[in-house]
Amino acid sequence: MSDDEDVRRAIALSLGESKGPASDSVEDEDAQYRADLERAIEQSKASAAVPQPQAPAVPTFLSERAQLEKARLERQKRLRGEEVDDNSSASSARPEKRQYVSSSRLPAQTNTTASFARSDAPVAYTAPSGSEPFFWDGELRQTANKHVDSRKDTRPTFRLSEIIGQKSEVTFAIMSSYALMLPWIYEFFSPSTPVILVAQPNETGNESIRNVLPDWVMTTPFLRNGRGCMHMKLMLLFYKTGRLRVVVNTANLVDFDWRDIENTVWLQDFPLRSKPIARDPKAADFPAAFERVLKALNVRAALENMLKTDHPDLPIKSIHDIRCSWDFSKVKVALIASLAGKHEGWPSAIQTGHTGLMKALRDLGLRAPKDKEIVLECQGSSIGAYTTQWMNEFHCSARGDSAEEWLDQSKTKRAKLPWPPVKILFPSLQTVRQSVLGENGGGTMFCRRNQWDATKFPRELFHDSRSKRGGVLMHTKMIIGTFRNRNTIFGGKQRPLDVDSGSETEDSDIVEVDPSDAKKDYAGWAYVGSHNFTPSAWGTLSGSSFNPILNITNYELGILMPLKTDKDVDRIAAWERPPRKYDLKKDLPWMQEESTVLKGHR
């Protein structure tokens, strides 16, 4: 495939509204992904904004790319002291912008927050009081949104321009996104800033590294048989002052994710150490987990490529430098990653997927006490293929319990378990229609009729997803786990599958645990990141208690934080609580494949 063909494909992917296959069975993962992507591209093309009559003609992206490449070569000539044509410069190039929602389809009036600037194009960022705000203790916020109810939107938010900050201060960036508008995101950075961009592999699923813009390298990780998604949303932003900003969020690098639908961002700033520490290959802390993620995403190879070519003076020479050169002592969250592939044996399995969540819960002292149960509220934009076996498997990890005893149970027994205490949050058809953008805004939410109508599908677990900020739809992926007395959930009975969480074998063979971890007085915990509540995102467990096997389809990333009080739970949750349970006599989930409005765009 030629470089121009790669760029054309990148643009096509940037138009995609799908966040991955709606079905989670391995057999149809690839077919579903392609079908969703093709349909989303056609819808997005049909709903692209019409240019203003007064606007000057904008050259195609490929033409702009050629101009940028020419500017890069001329910049290199200047460095070598050669003569160049001063009439062209990289800063004059403005890649073509694309818009998701048709202006002709928008309501005549929409509520807009006072703090929100138009985000259909990058805006200049002005920090409060003329200074750049830093977040040394970490910060979780919703994204600014054009359509929220200003009366309900009372808490601070993040814009992408605020997250990145002053263009001239950024010396290097590493970013990842599933959906991508390359010309749009390019404008948030200075033309000379080197960027490594992690994206979805092509249909082969092979690793790749290629230049897509001057000073921009795109890298893709490996996907078995080309199935699954590189679904992580992360940023590592390096600044001239030495500061490193780490961002884990739920939004893709597309304009409508930062303008029309609600997303959530966690970020934290980290200072440069006065002197680097020695590398510890056995480290298992937050920055060490990030090293594993970057290696899996093929960033290490992309970094080596950049250092050997045009950028020998990057702030890091190796992904190991991140942990060694920056001080992460103030981080209070755990990094939760899903790495696509087969993970066999406990040392491998507890570093990823839902068993990685289990380990993080234990490390943070968030394991469910024996006299309590964990109730989950799972908000996402894509519905999976659920079975009672997988749901209980996930819930076991969400309690912080080992899967050893779970795996020793017969498959027949596991398949007959009742549903655990889980609330699946997904917008009802009525909620989508009543939102500010109506059905036009539902292009990133996926539930299929064949899922909903399946005989054993957990319809009784569905609850309506309604943002606390008014009539906007949520692309936020968040799980809230709250501790509740078991008597109030199971009527005094045992858990559906009771695990002896005090087993000496369990604790010693899997992970060392603070004996007092179950006694800490927490209300619960929150996960925020790219994981939808699906087997593709969190993995499926098989094998035995001696040799477990965790298979994961996607690359995903998020953070886990403790919640000390019920007030903290309500503050962090992006939705109205308690969520309203579906009335199965009249409620249906939003199914975009049945939308006559969206069909009109095809």
> Residues forming the annotated binding site?
233, 477
Rounded CA-CA distance 127/104 in Å is 34
Residue with tokens 């659920």: 386
Residue 133 token pair? 């705000």
Other residues' Cβ atoms within 10 Å of the Cβ of residue 105: 16
Report which of 469, 576, 577 is spatially closest to residue 152, judged by C-alpha positions.
469
* Partner residues linked to 219 by β-bridges: 198, 209
Both tokens of 289, joined, read 């987990």
What does the block give as tokens for 114? 């006072």
What are residue 201's phi and psi, to 5 degrees?
-65, 165
Q: Which residues are catalytic?
A: 231, 475
For the record, the structure tokens of 106 come out as 């928008």
Using only C-alpha atoms, the chain has a radius of gyration, in whole angstroms, of: 24
Plot region of 118 (φ>0 → left; ψ -120 to 50 → alpha; else → beta): beta
* CA 96 – CA 182 distance, rounded (Å): 9
Strand ranges, E, within 144-226: 157-158, 170-176, 195-198, 208-213, 216-220
Q: How far apart are the first and last CA of the chain?
A: 28
CB 178 within 8 A of CB 19: yes
For 500-588, strand residue ranges (E) read 524-529, 540-543, 548-552, 556-563
DSSP characters for 375-427? EEEEE-SB-----HHHHHHHHHHHTT--SHHHHHS-HHHHHTPPPPSEEEE--
Residue 64's SS3 state is helix
Residue 94's CB is within 10 A of a number of other CB atoms, namely 14
Annotated binding-site residues for substrate read 233, 477
Please classify residue 559 by burial: count the beta carbons closer than 10 Å to its beta carbon, then call 0-12 exposed, 13-18 middle and 19+ buried: buried
CA separation (Å) from 172 to 193, 195, 252?
6, 6, 19
